[in-house]
Amino acid sequence: MKTKLELSRGLGKTLLVWSLGSFIVGLILFFTTFPIAQGIGLQAILWAVIDGVVASYTLFRQKDEPASKLARILKINTGLDIIYQVVGVLLVVFAGQNKFIVGNGLGIIVQGAFLFFLDLSYYRKFKPLVLEQVSSD
């Protein structure tokens, strides 16, 4: 079983790689002439910045958080990720003929889906550490 530090660093590295990839793809899409691609690109850029900040905090924070707190944050984030995707679907459904807004909705769905699977995966990896911590107390 991996340690809390190894899991935390793995989460941060994965999110940082996703952030960099999203930023590059986002720039390419944003500067196309297709409104849907531009919308997806804009969302990729915006989420890349946010994910980059979160990943940097995760990788470079000095304070050691208990596994239970990290698991709780990941559990909450998993729920938020579902909300992000619902917002994306609503934008796609109600955007009408505005292809740029549809692209933004699609971009939010993609980002939310990735974060959902990442957060859920790491929540499941942190959960045994929480149970181990409780049983040793």
Domain ranges, ordered by start, for the chain = 4-136
- pLDDT tens across the length of the chain (137 residues): 788 889 999 999 999 999 999 999 999 999 999 999 999 999 999 999 999 999 999 999 878 888 999 999 999 999 999 999 999 999 999 998 999 999 999 999 999 999 999 999 999 999 998 877 666 65
Identify whether the C-beta of residue 91 lies closer than 8 Å to the C-beta of residue 104: yes
For residues 82 and 114, what is the distance between their CA atoms, to the nearest angstrom? 11
pTM: 0.92
Contact yes or no for 21/41 (Cβ under 8 A): no
Tell me the Ramachandran region of residue 64: left when phi exceeds 0, alpha when psi lies from -120 to 50, beta otherwise: beta
